[in-house]
Structure 1
Amino acid sequence: MAAALPSPDQFPPGYLEENNGGRVIAAATTILVITTILFALRLYARSLTSAARGWDDHVLIPAYILLLGLIGSLYAEVLQAGLGRHVASVMMEDPKKVNRYLMLLYILDWFYVPSNMLSRVSVVVLYLRIFTDKWARIACYAVIGFLVANCLATIIAAQLECTPLAYTWDRSIQGGKCFNQLLWYQLTNFPNILGDVLIMILPIRTIWGLKASVPRRAGIAAVCLTGSIGMIASCVRTSVFYTKGDVILNDPTFADEAFSWTAIECGMYFSAACLIGMRPLYSRLPAFLKTRFPNATEKVEGALSHQADRLRLKRPYNSDYSSIHGDESSGSRGRGSVQHPQAAMVPTYQTRDDFMRDANRSQIYVETNIEIRRDFDRYYP
């Protein structure tokens, strides 16, 4: 095997010394710092409310743990397997490092795929807590099913890419073979983008139906769109597998750009899931910042559950507090008695003459016009 190693004289000056591993370390470290801060802020924001924690909070915990595993794998790829250097340089230094690189690449998928899935599921579960419309909720469940199915399909496919499985990281096994791995990397990115598009369009119908001003609806839409910002990194990462395909095939350890965008994509998905649930922190901002804070920070849950505050009731409103009788002829119930004991003892009049007759008895009465407005006609039938 040593005889097959390339000679340093075959390469131009500086080729074997080239090392882009620092870029992967920088990307992974930046994502680690940002996501850790945002995750801590998300947990703190939820502690400021009396609402119980939901599944949108719970699934972020394993998503963060898996993200840490992904970042740890990237550090190991650079420090222990030569990621960022040309494969010829790695082979001349230690041929076993290439096997280690391939093994860490296999392990990386076990962290990357489920972490992305859980971060996006967290956003959709948050929508489930907001939406009450039947079809919107069905759409949310369908998107969750798609995300989980795509995750499972990708993990299963990763176990079948090479036969036997150990050939994935040990190419010295006789008779081993793999399917077209580059094509698989390229194609598996499109379901991720499709999932992002589905998450992005989920709240459109609800937001469009709000009886609110256009700026307010735009602000709410901006908050919801933060749940899909990972699509930007996903598109860039997909393009890398096409533009850098030759490098990935022929000089895999030098394909640092694909690894950097893998960390960025996973981190952006997790960051988006954290950002969309941070509205309670707004109440803790200094007063001078609140006056400059855009309306887009309005709490999504509150904005969507109070759809329109100008809809007048078209039908009588009945409750235990509204059946009040003021008719003296109502048997044992005298004037001012009520049908329900919970209601207040307030006299009512059929005509204004009745009111004026009582007013002439030198009693003080208050005439009040009560206008009931409701905003749940569409989403809370």
Structure 2
Amino acid sequence: MPIEYLNLPVLPTVKAHLIINCVLVFLTLVVVALRIIARFESGVKLWWDDFLILLAVPQGIGMLVIQGMWAPMGVGYPATETLPNLVPILKMLVAYEFIFATCISTIKMSVMFFYLRVFVNDGLRLATKLVIGFVLLWSVGNILQVFLICRPFAATYDPTIKGKCGSQVVSFIAIGAFNVITDAIILTLPIPTIWGLKMSSSARLGLSAVFMIGLIVSVVAIIRIISLTQLDLTNLTGTMVWADFWSTVEPNLGIICVSLPMLSRLRSRFTSRRGASKLEGPSSECTGSYRRGNAATGRLGPTMPTDHRHDEAFGLETLYGSNKQVHHASIVASGTKPPAEAPSRDGSEEALTLQPANPGQDKNGILVQTKWTITSN
């Protein structure tokens, strides 16, 4: 007997949620496109962290598509009014859970491969690889629970089939809790390395803030867990309004947050070009660099082969000078390039350099390089 689909008017709250997530997905596409442009602008090839984000984008879009398909099927209505749509809604719920689990895992893997691309510290790289293994196991468990929560599997989406099912709500909450925990672990991984650099406290705070921007996603994940506690499978359509909304927000916001730091190169170039067109009077450029070494090897990480990673850079934000017009760009880079020579002070030209604590040390490791263009007022 064919299933009769019942179309119901979309409730205002559900419509607002759908519009917000459509805007969010659009912003996700824009940010990821700018990320790819920034990578090509830097003259380097895409790496695994970029490919993984590109893989996560269609998964985030898939979450929005399912949310849109659910909207006219009675989201927000009591289950007694949406009973004819229950089976298709539950079938899409299985797909929704699967896509959510794979998308979140893909984003986490992208962040950790970014760490492997940028940092050469042996301890950080080892810790990152261990966390990658843990996240992979966590992801497999998430995916398996989607298909093993009920025996037989058909009982997951068809209430008329007799079977044994675990508590899906408890499962959703457990997955969300592990999600928040792994987010915290991943985001704090590079902090000890950053605070081991010979930089000003404000620069270290700024760089730490860039890496910790993903905490916004963790806040959303916690809100999502709270909404899941209100979910009642006996009245699914009547209680899934907010869980549906936040479950689509979380992965798409995650893609944006992990991609925003990559746009610093575009911003720096735009700012420097814009500032260069407004320069009046003499100006100069100066470059300072510093390499952080450890006690055992004299450098932060192992000797790196000459490959594309020596061109990798991560933007910082700093502010210098109150009576001068300053245009600057600061980067943290890994590789084998020696620091550039800074010009000497001449008239209105002012050279600002950061000298290494040990000039004779190995030139491999993390390079913190700052470039200033200073114009006297």
Equivalent residue for 1:281, pick from 266, 270, 279 = 266
**AA paired with 2:226?**
S
Could you tell me which residue of structure 2 aligns to residue 206 of structure 1?
A: 193
- Measure the CA separation in 2 of the matches of 1:113 and 1:83: 22
What residue is the counterpart of 2:347 in the other structure?
A: none
Count of residues in Structure 1 that have an aligned counterpart in Structure 2: 297
Q: Partner residue of 2:237?
A: 253
Is the Cα contact below 8 Å between 1:85 and 1:253 reproduced in 2? yes
Q: Aligned pair in 2 of structure 1 residues 295, 120: CA closer, same or farther (>3 Å)?
A: farther
- Alignment partners' CA distance in 1, 2:139 and 2:224: 17
- Quick one: structure 1 residues 43 and 27, their matched pair in 2 at CA, closer, same or farther if it must change by over 3 Å? same
Q: Secondary structure at the match of 2:120?
A: coil
- The alpha carbon displacement at 1:28 in A equals 2.4
Structure 2 residue runs without a partner (length 5+): 1-8, 277-315, 320-327, 340-352, 368-377
Q: Percent identity?
A: 24
Cα distance in 1 between the residues matched to 2:68 and 2:166: 28
**What SS does structure 2 have at the residue aligned with 1:166?**
helix
Whole-Å separation in 2 of the counterparts to 1:204 and 1:122: 18
For residue 356 of structure 2, the aligned residue among 305, 311, 320 is: 311
1:106 matched residue in structure 2: 94
RMSD: 2.9
Q: 1:182: Cα distance to partner?
A: 1.3
1:134 and 1:286 mapped to 2: Cα distance?
A: 35
Structure 2 vs 1, CA of residues 301 and 123 (structure 1 numbering), >3 Å: closer, same or farther?
Answer: farther
Q: 1:235 & 1:277 partners in 2: Cα distance?
A: 26
Is contact 1:27-1:263 (8 Å) kept?
A: no
Q: Deviations over 1:229-273 (max 9, x none)?
A: 31111111112122x14xx33421122100100011111111122
Partners of 2:68 and 2:275 in 1: CA distance: 40
Residues 211 and 196 of structure 1: CA distance in aligned 2, closer, same or farther (over 3 Å): same
> Match for 1:122 among 107, 110, 121?
110
2:76 match: 84
Task: Kindly provide the CA deviation profile for residues 158-189 of structure 1, in whole angstroms up to 9, marking residues without a partner as x.
Answer: 1111111111111111x223111111111111
Match 2:251 to one of 244, 266, 284: 266
Written as runs of structure 1 = structure 2, the 5 A alignment for 1:1-381 is 20-79=13-72, 81-91=73-83, 95=84, 97-173=85-161, 175-242=162-229, 244-245=230-231, 248-254=232-238, 255-287=240-272, 294-295=317-318, 301-302=332-333, 309-313=354-358, 372=359
| Greater strand proportion | 2
**What corresponds to 1:9 in structure 2?**
none
The 8 Å contact of residues 60 and 122 in structure 1, kept in 2 or not, is answered as: yes
The 2-side partners of 1:19 and 1:34 are apart by 23
Superimposed CA distance per residue, residues 17-69 of structure 1 (whole angstroms, 9 cap, x where no aligned partner)? 96642133123212211111111111111110112211111111111111111
The residue type equivalent to 1:218 in the other structure is L
Q: Give the TM-score of the pair, scaled to structure 2.
A: 0.71
Distance 1:71 1:25 in 2: 8
Label 1:123 to 1:300 Cα distance change in 2 as closer, same or farther (>3 A): farther
In our comparison, the structure showing a higher alpha carbon Rg is 1
CA distance in 2, matches of 1:20, 1:163: 35
For 1:135 and 1:17, locate their aligned partners in 2 and report how far apart those are by CA, in whole Å.
Answer: 53
* Distance change in 2, residues 1:228/1:276 (3 Å): farther
State the TM-score, normalized to the length of structure 1: 0.71
Task: Write the distance in 1 (CA, Å) between the matches of 2:91 and 2:185.
Answer: 33
**Is the contact between residue 207 and residue 217 of structure 1 (CA under 8 Å) also seen in structure 2?**
yes
d(CA) in 1 for partners of 2:245, 2:317: 33
Which amino acid counterpart does residue 216 of structure 1 have in structure 2? A
SS at match of 1:285: helix
- Equivalent residue letter for 2:233: L
